[in-house]
Amino acid sequence: MKVNVGIVGFGVIGSGVVNLLQQYSSLLKQRSGVQIELQRIVDVDIERVRDVAVDRKLLLTDYRNVVNDPHIDIVIELVGGTNVAFDIVSQALTAGKHVVTANKALLCARGPELFSLAREKQRELRFEASVAGGIPIIKAITESLAADRILTLYGIVNGTTNFILTRMIEESWSFESALKRAQELGFAEADPTLDVNGGDAQHKLHILSTVAFDTIPPPGSIYREGIEGIQLQDVLYAKELGYVIKLLAIGKLEGGSVSLRVHPTLIPSRCSLASVKNEFNAVMLESEFLGQSQFVGRGAGARPTATAVVADIVDISTGMLQNKEFNASRYSTVSQYPILPAGDIRSRFYLRLATEERAGILAKVTKILSDEDISISAITQEEGTVERPIPIVILTRLAREENVRRAVAAIDQMSFTREPTVVLHVEDISL
Ligand code: HSE
C-alpha cells in the first residue's frame, strides 16, 4: 500500500521531516507495511536553499494545491501561527485528509473545533511534535498510561529557555548571547518572546492538560511567568540553598481541580530534573498506579522534532492499512475538571528582599508574612554594611499564592524597602 503525504511549511522542522522521509523510506515501509511517498512540499519561499535537497517538481507555493489534491492522504501542517494554519488544517480535514501538526498555538486557540471536525470526518489529527519535540510524551500519556490517572506533571518543555538558563548558570553567558545561540541552533520560535516569556511552555501545558487531565484550560487560566527577570544573584542564592532554577510547566490534580502554571522554579539540585540541561526537555509524571515516571530527550530542533512528526505519519499509515476507524481520540474535547484559580495555588516561595539595614526591619517583615499565614522555613542574610546591605533571602513553607502576593505588595510599600522583592516559586521534587 502507498500513502501520499504533502507538507505545508518548509522551514526548520519541514526540512527535518523531508530529510527523515528521504533517508528512511525503506525502513519506514518495513516498519509500517506502507510505502510513504512525499508528493508535495508547499512554502511561500521555494527559492531559499535548505539543508536538504529536493526535486523542484515537488515544490509549490499555494497550500490549496495540497489540501485539494485528491491523491494526498496526509497533510503535514508546519507553518505555525493560527490563521493560515487553521485554514490549512480545517480544509484538509474537510477534504477527508488526515493531518499531522506541530502547531501548539493552533491547538490551544482552536483545538476543540479542529478535533470535533476531525471526528465528524472520521479522520486523524495528530500532534506529537507539538509538545517536547522528539519525546513521545503524547503517545506515552494517551496509550501507555491510558489505564492510569495522572496526578502531577512537571515539565521542562521549552528548549530555548532551558538552553539559556543552563548557559547562564554554568558558563556565565549573558542572556542575549545564549538566546542568539539558541536561535542559530533552530530551537527558538520565530518570535523568541514566546520562548522567553513562558508563552510557548504555556501552549504545551495547555495540550498536556487536555491529554493528561482530560481538561481543556479556558483562555487565560494558565498562570504564566517567563525567565526575563531572572538575575544571576538569584541563581547563586538558589545554588547556596541547594536549588537550581528551571522554567517549569506544572499541572496538579488536587481537591477535584487542576492547577496549571508555568514559571521559573527553584527545584532541588539533587533531583533528576535539575540535571536536564541545554535544549533537553523532560516531563515527570506522578500517576496513581505507576507512581513516578520520567521522559527525557531533545525538545527542539529539526531532527528530534521530525521523528515525532514522522512517527505520527507512520501511525496513521498503519491505521489506514488496517482499515481502522479514525476518531482523533487523543485529545479530549470535554473537560473533566475545573481549573484552580491562580490565587488559590499553594506553593513554597523564594523571596529576595532589598531593604535598608536598621533595627526592627526583620521583625516587620516577619509580621507581614505571619499576618498572611506564611511560615518561614529558611532565612539568610550575609553580613553587609549599613551603606551596602546584603539582600535578605527567605524560603517559605507552603503558602497560598494570593497571600504571598499581598504580603510582598505590603513589604514593597514599606519605607525601608529599596527595590521590589523578587518572588520565585519552589517545588520539592523528590525523584
Ligand atoms: N521554541 C521551542 C523550544 C521549540 O525552544 O522548545 C519547540 O517547540
Examine residue 226 and state whether it is found in any structural domain, yes or no. Answer: yes
* pLDDT of 190 strictly over 80: no
Mean pLDDT (whole number) for 130-142: 96
pTM over cut 0.85: yes
More confident residue, 383 or 128: 128
* Ligand 1 pocket check for 188: Cβ under 6 Å: yes
State the pLDDT confidence band at 332, using cuts at 50, 70 and 90. Answer: confident
* Ligand 1 pocket check for 187: Cβ under 6 Å: yes
- Cell 508563552 -> residue: 199
| Confidence at residue 287, expressed as pLDDT on a 0 to 100 scale | 97
- One domain for residues 184 and 261: yes
Catalytic one among 204, 252, 277, 367? Answer: 204
What CATH number has the domain bearing residue 182? 3.30.360.10
Examine residue 311 and state whether it is found in any structural domain, yes or no. Answer: yes
Quick one: which of 345, 130, 127, 398 has its CA closest to 224? 345
Mutate to test the pocket of ligand 1, among 103, 106, 127, 195 (most ligand atoms within 8 A of CB): 195
pLDDT digits (tens, 9 = 90+) for 336-370: 999 999 999 999 999 999 999 889 999 999 999 99
Examine residue 327 and state whether it is found in any structural domain, yes or no. Answer: yes
- One domain for residues 94 and 149: no
- One domain for residues 258 and 399: no
Mean pLDDT (whole number) for 11-33: 93
More confident residue, 413 or 231: 413
Examine residue 26 and state whether it is found in any structural domain, yes or no. Answer: yes
- One domain for residues 73 and 214: no
Q: How far apart are CA 108 and CA 129, in angstroms?
A: 14
| E strand residue ranges, 24-122 | 35-42, 59-60, 74-77, 98-101
- One domain for residues 376 and 285: no
For the question of residue 204 being annotated catalytic, the response is yes
Last residue of a domain, one of 296, 320, 355: 296
- The set of cell numbers assigned to 137 is 510524551
What whole-number percentage of the chain has pLDDT above 90?
A: 84
- One domain for residues 223 and 240: yes
- One domain for residues 100 and 174: no
DSSP string, 179-213: HHHHHHTT-S-SSTHHHHTSHHHHHHHHHHHHHHS
pLDDT digits (tens, 9 = 90+) for 239-269: 999 999 999 999 999 989 999 999 999 999 9
Domains: count for the chain: 3
More confident residue, 201 or 190: 201
- One domain for residues 147 and 126: no
Last residue of a domain, one of 272, 296, 320: 296
Output Rg (C-alpha) for the chain, integer angstroms: 24
What CATH number has the domain bearing residue 403? 3.30.70.260
| Confidence at residue 71, expressed as pLDDT on a 0 to 100 scale | 97
Examine residue 30 and state whether it is found in any structural domain, yes or no. Answer: yes
Examine residue 63 and state whether it is found in any structural domain, yes or no. Answer: yes
| Confidence at residue 175, expressed as pLDDT on a 0 to 100 scale | 84
CA–centroid distance, 283 to ligand 1, in Å, is 14
What whole-number percentage of the chain has pLDDT above 70?
A: 100
* Ligand 1 pocket check for 160: Cβ under 6 Å: yes
Pairing of strands 280-287, 150-156: antiparallel
- The set of cell numbers assigned to 68 is 485539494
- One domain for residues 158 and 284: yes
Print the domain residue range for 21: 2-133+302-331
* Ligand 1 pocket check for 391: Cβ under 6 Å: no
Examine residue 239 and state whether it is found in any structural domain, yes or no. Answer: yes
Examine residue 337 and state whether it is found in any structural domain, yes or no. Answer: no
State the pLDDT confidence band at 330, using cuts at 50, 70 and 90. Answer: confident
- One domain for residues 79 and 145: no
- One domain for residues 175 and 222: yes
- One domain for residues 290 and 141: yes
pLDDT digits (tens, 9 = 90+) for 315-326: 999 999 998 899
